[in-house]
Structure 1
Amino acid sequence: MKTGLIIGKFMPLHKGHMALIEFAVGQCDELIVLVSASDDEPITGAQRLEWLEDLYKENSKVKPMMLNYDDLILSDAEVTVSSEGLSKLWANYLKEQLPPIDVIFASEAYGAYMSRFLNCEAVIYDEPCKIVPMSATQIRNDPFTYFNYLPDIVQAYYSQKDDKGANTL
């Protein structure tokens, strides 16, 4: 059985993430999609995990999970800065939390670093982000400009917020 891993914040989940997941799920028997979350983020980890669970509830190969981490122990800089040191720290932590991983899928260089420390294959997908030219940061900064990059369930979340991110309900 081949187990794959995707790590991300999914803040918010967008069509680029979904393209990576669809690409990865076709190459393994089980795909762990790990939401990395800390307490000080603008969208809760629970919300992001719920999006993944809802979108992939019909696909038994996709296993959404959440990793709540402490910024003092595991830096979230891995999301924006690919470094061997951070990748090694994360990989060592993940080895304790997850079953053995055969392949890590990523759209950033950290995937190659992590694979060495997880002793698995790395598959880098669309690193220059040409297939879906979008980042979650761009969406968070202006969700309604990039609304079409969001799946329906995430569009519904943003439709309940005003332009400052406050609930309108």
Structure 2
Amino acid sequence: MKRGLVIGKFLPLHIGHMALIDYALAHCDELEVVIGASDDEPIPGEVRLEWLKQTYAGNNKVKPILLSYDEAMLTGHAESIENMSRLWASYLKKSLPPIDVIFASESYGAYMGRFLDCESVIYEEPCKIVPVPAAKIREEPASYWHLLPDAVQDYYKNQAE
């Protein structure tokens, strides 16, 4: 059995993330989807976990996992991509079953593969599909409605009420 990994903040989950997840699903038997969430973010990790569960409700190959962390322990802001990847890989090795391949749309995926002792696949399409920063989507969700799955649209509808 080939176990894959996708890591993200999914802040918010959008069709670019879904393209990466769908690509990964086509290349493995089981997919761990880790939602990295700190208490310092505008949308709680539990909400993002529910988005993934709802969006992939019919697919038993997808295993969404909430990884709550303390920014002081697993920082990503002041570190180089390589050092940040080493730190995260060490943490993930303790938290997840062995991973055969990590799928990413950014360069950290290659480092993570090396530090997790697994294959890495960089799939660049998600950045082409959604060429806008997630912060912009959070600021103006109605302008980017077409990029959001139903579960995320429902969240923003409820926020507006």
Q: Secondary structure at the match of 2:103?
A: strand
C-alpha contact 1:108 1:127 (8 A) present in aligned 2: no
- The one-letter amino acid paired with 1:140 is R
Q: Once the two structures are superposed, what CA deviation does each residue of 1:3-47 show, in whole Å capped at 9, x if it has no partner?
A: 000000001100100111000001001000000001121111000
CA distance in 1, matches of 2:7, 2:61: 16
The match for 1:85 is 83
- The one-letter amino acid paired with 2:148 is L
**Which of 102, 105, 109 is matched with 2:103 structurally?**
105
The structure where helix makes up a greater share of residues is: 2
Percent identity for Structure 1 against Structure 2: 61
CA distance in 2, matches of 1:57, 1:141: 27
Q: What's the offset of the Cα at 1:132? A: 3.3
The match for 1:56 is 56
Q: TM-score, normalised by structure 1?
A: 0.89
Instruction: Give the total of aligned pairs.
Output: 161
Is 1:17 the counterpart of 2:17 in the alignment?
yes
CA distance in 1, matches of 2:107, 2:29: 24
Is 1:96 the counterpart of 2:101 in the alignment?
no
Q: Secondary structure at the match of 1:139?
A: helix
The match for 2:124 is 126
Following TM superposition, where does structure 1 have runs of at least 4 consecutive aligned residues deviating by more than 3 angstroms?
none
Is 1:8 the counterpart of 2:30 in the alignment?
no
Higher relative contact order (CA 8 A, sep 6+): 2
The match for 1:45 is 45
Structure 2: which 5+ runs fail to align? none
Counterparts in 2 of 1:82 and 1:59: CA distance versus 1, 3 Å? farther
- The one-letter amino acid paired with 1:102 is D
Structure 1: which 5+ runs fail to align? 163-167
Tell me whether 122-131 or 148-157 shows the greater mean CA deviation. Answer: 122-131
Q: CA RMSD for the aligned pairs?
A: 1.7
